[in-house]
Amino acid sequence: MSTSSQSFSRRSFGRLAAATALAAGGAAALGACGTGGGKPSANTPLRIMAINHVWSQAIADRIEEFEDRIGRRVSMTMLTADQLSNSYNVKLNASGTDVDVMMVRALQEQLLFSHNGWLADLTGYVEGDAGFRWDDFQEAPRGRSVTGGKVLSVPVVTERPALYYRRDIVEPLGGPPTTLDAMMDMALDLSDRGDGFFGYVGRGQRNGAVSTWSSFLFSFGGAFTRDGRSTIADRDAIAAYEYYGKLLHDAGPPGATNMSLEQAMPIFAQGKAAFYIDADAIYTSFLDPAVSTVQETVGFAPFPAGPAGSKPSNVPSWSLGISEFSRLRDDAWEFIRWAAGPEMSAEIQGLGIPGARESAWSDPATLATFPTDLADAMRQGTLNGVGADRPDVLQVGRARDIVGRPLVAGILGQSVPGVARDADAEFADFLVRDNRHRES
């Protein structure tokens, strides 16, 4: 009706729209600041955000025992790694109090979360609790839990790369290779790509392959950085890029640059590859007849030696931390104390899930569930292991994207040195910016 056009003038509409935006903005900001604010009641559950992993599943199966222990309900959410990371970004950016215990990847997220002030300082808890035995944790994973002199997480699952191989094919040729050169020769000999059989399968995605490739880099004598300077175009690093690129380009499956764990693992599980290097924690996938055709023929060996020896990564893949915004910090610590304590660590490692406690690794009972050759490979990995598998920076995602570029060039059969030099220059710029962020 025309009356509305009279009273609904442009100016009054503008005024109302602005007022509405401000009101909405204020409401949203207040809402964000006050997510679940106030004192927790006895009914407030302890909220645990966890990765969808066999470790979390084992804990979830025993959670009633913990609920009885603290007299509080526990709400455990299990997500994939990317979903979990994005959830933290959304919830903790809003200072949300609906996260108490956080499962984090110490090497991927801890520096950034610490910079953001999202992780509570656990130093007092871990060092002030004699029963927790903080010094029982392996040195490399324990070292990764500390940022800026503060303990921000407690490692619960550790990983080293293992060499998975087809015993029926490789043993007649003299057994699993002990050097990278021998593995290359065998992979090239065994590869029959026309017939759909590959000498080697492994991760080839720019970002995802970096953690696997790091063991090749260390074993060639290289490093991501030295004294804060990029070293990805050094001779050793280029040799490692070229080696891994050739391995996947000449002996690997088609489309390798699109392969992460989810794509590479099934190829080996279906008997279509002779060798596969990936985390030792996934070995159960090859023993499960529902998804594997190689449960009778899979063999396990330590990471082969390169020119600088066998230097696989030995890292805490998943750790537990407490959100800085948690209102149930003591209960959250009680959970960590229970789930990462000596008894539970031994019990869970006994299920075939490798942990970070020396006491569990030195207890033959906890290793009995692992195949003997895998247990040997794991033990060797913990002895020679390097406590990193990606650049030690705030923006790990961006760093991996840069470092992974020459890797992709190698897998695609392109010349590596030029791409490595270009990536090196980009990485050097990145390190300057990352340092600036760290100091800010």
Applying CB under 8 A, which residues contact other proteins? Answer: 1-4, 6-8, 16-17, 20-25, 27-28, 82, 85-86, 89, 92-95, 112, 115-118, 196, 204-208, 253-260, 263, 266-267, 270, 272, 394-395, 397-398, 401, 404, 408, 411-412, 426, 437, 440
- Least distance from C-beta 191 to other proteins, angstroms? 13
Question: Whole-angstrom Cα distance, residue 119 to residue 113?
Answer: 6
Question: Whole-angstrom Cα distance, residue 229 to residue 234?
Answer: 11
Cβ-based nearer residue to other proteins, 340 or 393: 393
Cβ-based nearer residue to other proteins, 74 or 419: 419
- Least distance from C-beta 326 to other proteins, angstroms? 16
Using CA atoms, how far residue 306 sits from 53, 119, 165, 180, 309, in Å, is 32, 38, 18, 5, 5
- Least distance from C-beta 237 to other proteins, angstroms? 18
- Least distance from C-beta 430 to other proteins, angstroms? 10
- Least distance from C-beta 63 to other proteins, angstroms? 29
- Least distance from C-beta 406 to other proteins, angstroms? 11
Cβ-based nearer residue to other proteins, 282 or 412: 412
Contact (CB, 8 A) for 134 and 146: no
In angstroms, what is the C-alpha Rg of the chain? 25
- The total number of residues shown for the chain amounts to 440
Give every CB contact of residue 60 below 8 A, 6+ residues apart in sequence: 50, 76, 78
The single residue listed with the structure tokens 């392969």 is 259
Tokens in use for 168?
């029926």
Question: Whole-angstrom Cα distance, residue 346 to residue 350?
Answer: 6
- Least distance from C-beta 338 to other proteins, angstroms? 30
Cβ-based nearer residue to other proteins, 28 or 383: 28
Cβ-based nearer residue to other proteins, 256 or 320: 256
The HSE-up count of residue 295 (CA atoms within 13 Å, CB side) is 9
Give the relative orientation of helices 396-411 and 209-219 as an angle to the nearest 10 degrees: 70
Cβ-based nearer residue to other proteins, 167 or 398: 398
Cβ-based nearer residue to other proteins, 156 or 411: 411
Q: Which residues of 53-74 are buried (b: 16+ CB within 10 A; e: fewer)?
A: bbbbebbeeebeebeeebebeb
